[in-house]
Structure 1
Amino acid sequence: MVTLSVTRSRVARVLEAAADLLGREGWDPHLNPLMAAIDRAADFVPGKSSPDAEATSLAAWDALCQYLVDVSPREWETHEGLTQTEVVDALRAAAEEARTGA
Structure 2
Amino acid sequence: MSLKENPTLEHLAGIFKQKIIPQLQEYFFDDWAKINLVFFNNGMIVEDKEINISGLFPANIEQDMHYSEQKKIWKIETEAFKTIDAFTKILGSKS
Structure-2-length-normalised TM-score? 0.31
More strand by share: 2
Larger radius of gyration: 2
From the two aligned structures, give the one with the greater helix fraction.
1
